[in-house]
Amino acid sequence: MVVFDSGSNGYRNFLLPLAYEDDLVQRAVSVVAAFHMAPQRPDLLPVAEKGLSSIIQRLRADAFAGESNKVFSMSTWATVILLLVGETVTGSQDFVHLYPMLTNLLSHNEVLAPELTLVQRRFLLQQSRMYVVHFVSINLELI
């Protein structure tokens, strides 16, 4: 998930171990991998699309359930980042659902994922900023 893989690869050192422990993150990794492999394995495309839809539905249900510990968690933040990575690979139209989720998470930084270590938080913030800056630059080009 990175161009240059090094010892400080947050995807390898943080998100993949998290996926081993967290079902939602695991599903996001699987969906992104299926989208990535779909050009060679077209049979994976419907599976990936169904999985993505299911994850987005769950994130939205969690948001409307009013349980802040589910919404502002490390799991939710990591899942949204992973799905946005997948969007950059596939060019799908689901960016319009995921980007507002990310900006909403970031706007509640004071309660967002208190269980994160400083290194984990920095990694997710860096990845988040990459999408925010990218989206803003795209919109400025359209003006």
pLDDT digits (tens, 9 = 90+) for 121-136: 999 999 999 888 766 5
For the stretch 54-96, pLDDT in tens is 999 999 898 888 777 778 899 999 999 999 988 887 777 778 8
* This prediction's pTM: 0.86
pLDDT-derived band of residue 108, with 50, 70 and 90 as boundaries?
A: confident
Write out the two tokens for 66.
């009013």
Question: What's the rounded Cα separation, in Å, for the pair 44 and 57?
Answer: 20
Question: What's the rounded Cα separation, in Å, for the pair 139 and 8?
Answer: 31
Whether 140 has a pLDDT exceeding 60, the answer reads: no
